[in-house]
Amino acid sequence: MGKYVIAGNWKMNKTPAEATELIEAIKPLVKDATCDVVVGVPFVDLCAALEAVKGSNIGVAAQNCHWEKSGAYTGEISAEMLKAMGVGYVILGHSERRTYFGDTDVTVQKRMRAALDAGLTVILCVGEYLEQREQGVTGEVCAMQTKIALGGVSKEELARVIIAYEPVWAIGTGRTATAEQANEVCALIRETVAGLYDGDAAAAVTIQYGGSMNAANAAELLAQSDVDGGLIGGASLKPQDFATIVAAAK
Ligand code: PEP
């Protein structure tokens, strides 16, 4: 299965000074990690975060990027700009962006294209709303989001795509998917990738689970056969909890 990656999504939290402090606290706790470790920070914290992670095993992610390289897009940040700063990763299609800021499968696909062209690694978020789970269409929703976002992505480029299965009802709610639910959908996403590419590509792609993963439930979720890591919101702001999750990703 894919390489284990534990990524924190700090959302709209921490000033630059606080970002430095948090990374300094995390660094010694994850230095022996056997998985990849990433922190997804607000745009204004990127400089401080890139400075703080120097010489460590921690990568830095932005939480979004625009699909154009430059232009009249007030308030936006391009993938090229992120790459030029030294940022390695970008989170795309997070449900909070889809729900509150109008991101759609189509704009996620465009952002994906721009991010890959710029040389970034993408953490692509997919996941169903509670109503969709209750209607029995979780598989269809996640497969559709995955297929559209990966439209035009070559097999070589797929090596720079991490997929995060994030059921919307589990994000920030304290309500985690059961390990079985998480594994079932991660497996389905892997099958979708196999259908788009081939079995090798599906086996190699990293598929994370995200949604109220914490220090107490991480080991069980990460032990599932199709779960190759986690996208962690709230618990990524607590150094010891984040480190416990990283240690569980073996
Ligand atoms: C997230 O923001 O991607 C997330 C999974 O948040 P939380 O862990 O707080 O549910």
Residue 6's pLDDT band (cuts 50, 70, 90): very high
Pocket of ligand 1 (CB under 6 A): 9, 11, 166, 171-172, 210-213, 231-235
CA distance 58 to 77: 22
Selecting among 80, 94, 96, 128, the annotated active-site residue is: 94
Look up residue 188 and give its two tokens. 């389905």
CB 246 within 8 A of CB 223: no
**What backbone phi and psi angles, to 5 degrees, belong to 40?**
-100, 110
CA separation, residue 182 to residues 27, 78, 225, 229 (Å): 28, 32, 10, 11
CA distance 46 to 69: 19
Nearest atom in ligand 1 to the alpha carbon of residue 212 is 10
Active site residue 94: yes
CA distance 124 to 9: 12
What pLDDT does 178 receive? 96
Selecting among 80, 96, 128, 166, the annotated active-site residue is: 166
What pLDDT does 45 receive? 98
- Please indicate, yes or no, whether the overall pTM of this predicted structure exceeds 0.75: yes
Please report how many Cα atoms fall inside a 13 Å half-sphere around the Cα of residue 50, on the Cβ side: 15
Q: What is the pLDDT of residues 129-160, one digit of tens each?
A: 999 999 999 999 999 999 999 999 999 999 99
User: What rounded mean pLDDT belongs to the chain?
Assistant: 97
Distance 129 CA to ligand 1 centre (A): 14
* 3-state class (DSSP) for residue 8: strand
Q: What is the mean pLDDT of residues 168-191?
A: 95
Pick from 51, 49, 70: nearest CA to 61: 49
Active site residue 156: no
* 3-state class (DSSP) for residue 6: strand
Domains and CATH numbers, the chain: 5-248 (3.20.20.70)
Does 2 have pLDDT greater than 90? no
CA distance 167 to 135: 14
